């Protein structure tokens, strides 16, 4: 008797700055996991995003810890340090190559918001991306994605329940003393309060927006 063909593990990859991680990220990961029958979603906090200058982003270790706290209760969710431990700015091709090397045989699904995907597509090495992973663009309120011109089957679009939550809005709320409860997981709320992140003019390194 021949053994039944083994199914390749299906690994979702959710890259982000996670400054901080919020319920929009968790809902997107959960929705894509269900839709694509993923075994696991690994959250990968960026080192320094290549689009953002040094000093514009909260230290990687704080963002990493908030991501761990936020995902700890879900057995499908894990966190990887590949991007924060690699020196220099983060490129998605490096992320996917490094993860593929540590998970040989896995099928990779890169989960990204339509806004972030547009930035990735503006990058030069884009053909390599399609070889490394299937891309899942989650529809994010206020952003639509034009997939014309992309290779067939390279990108799927998944609509998630509209959640107009963004990390920049959360940072602004903390700075202004407005509530963030229910927008972020309780552990993230507690981490922000305890660490003093995002408070006051110096709370976020650049005072951006
Ligand atoms: P910022 O406001 O600082 O840009 P953000 O909320 O976009 O932060 P990121 O860490 O940049 O958070 O996002 C990581 C990924 O999650 C990106 O692909 C982004 O498009 C997606 N994403 C962020 N918020 C949502 C949301 N509410 N719904 C769906 N996807 C989201
Ligand atoms: Mg963003």
**Ligand 1 near 74 CB (within 6 A):** no
pLDDT tops 60 at residue 205? no
Distance of CA 127 to the CA centre of its chain: 21
Q: Are 67 and 21 in contact (CB under 8 A)?
A: yes
Integer Cα distance of 143 and 117 in angstroms: 11
Integer Cα distance of 139 and 106 in angstroms: 25
**Ligand 1 near 66 CB (within 6 A):** no
Q: What is the DSSP string of the chain?
A: -PPPPPPPPEEEEEEE--TT--HHHHHHHHHHHHHTT-SEEEEEE-SEETTS-TTSS--HHHHHHHHHHHHTT-TTEEE--HHHHSSSEE-HHHHHHHHHHHSTTPEEEEEEEHHHHHHHHTSTTHHHHHHH-EEEEEEBTTB----TTSPTTTEEEEE-------HHHHHHHHHHT---BTTB-HHHHHHHHHHTTT-HHHHSTT---
**Ligand 1 near 165 CB (within 6 A):** yes
Residues comprising the chain, all counted: 209
Ligand nearest to the CA of 164: 1
- Name the residue of 19, 79, 113 whose CB sits within 8 Å of the most ligand 1 atoms, as the mutation to test its pocket: 113
**Ligand 1 near 24 CB (within 6 A):** yes
For ligand 1, the distance from its centroid to the CA atom of residue 153, given in whole angstroms, is 23
Integer Cα distance of 187 and 11 in angstroms: 25
Q: Binning pLDDT at 50, 70 and 90, where does residue 1 land?
A: low
- Residue range 8-47, pLDDT digits in tens: 999 999 999 999 999 999 999 999 999 999 999 999 999 9
**Ligand 1 near 26 CB (within 6 A):** no
Lowest mean pLDDT among 70-84, 118-132, 137-151, 187-201: 137-151
**Ligand 1 near 16 CB (within 6 A):** yes
**Ligand 1 near 25 CB (within 6 A):** yes
For ligand 2, the distance from its centroid to the CA atom of residue 67, given in whole angstroms, is 15
Residue extents of the structural domains in the chain: 10-164
Strand partners, 112: 137
> Which residue is associated with the tokens 């992309």?
150
Q: Are 133 and 12 in contact (CB under 8 A)?
A: no
Q: 10-164 — its CATH code?
A: 3.40.50.620
Ligand nearest to the CA of 114: 1
Integer Cα distance of 163 and 141 in angstroms: 7
**Ligand 1 near 17 CB (within 6 A):** yes
Q: What is the ipTM, given to two decimal places? A: 0.98
- Residue range 152-200, pLDDT digits in tens: 788 898 988 878 899 999 999 999 999 999 999 999 999 999 999 999 7
| Ligand 1 atom 17 nearest Cα | 113
């Amino acid at each position: 008797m021949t053994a039944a063909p083994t199914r390749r593990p299906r690994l979702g990859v959710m890259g982000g700055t996670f400054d901080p991680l919020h319920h929009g990220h968790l809902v997107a990961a959960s929705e894509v996991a269900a839709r694509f029958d993923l075994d696991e979603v690994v959250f990968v906090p960026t080192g320094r995003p290549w689009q953002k200058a040094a000093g514009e982003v909260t230290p990687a270790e704080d963002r990493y810890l908030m991501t761990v706290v936020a995902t700890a209760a879900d057995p499908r969710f894990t966190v990887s340090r590949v991007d924060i431990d690699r020196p220099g700015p983060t490129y998605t091709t490096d992320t996917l190559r490094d993860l593929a090397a540590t998970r040989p045989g896995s099928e990779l699904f890169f989960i990204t918001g339509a806004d972030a995907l547009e930035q990735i597509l503006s990058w030069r090495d884009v053909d390599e991306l399609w070889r490394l992973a299937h891309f899942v663009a989650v529809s994010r309120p206020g952003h639509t994605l034009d997939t014309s011109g992309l290779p067939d089957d390279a990108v799927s679009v998944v609509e998630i329940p509209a959640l107009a939550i963004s990390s920049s809005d959360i940072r602004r709320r903390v700075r202004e003393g407005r509530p963030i409860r229910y927008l972020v997981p309780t552990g993230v709320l507690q981490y922000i309060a305890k660490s003093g992140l995002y408070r006051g003019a110096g709370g976020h390194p650049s005072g951006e927006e």
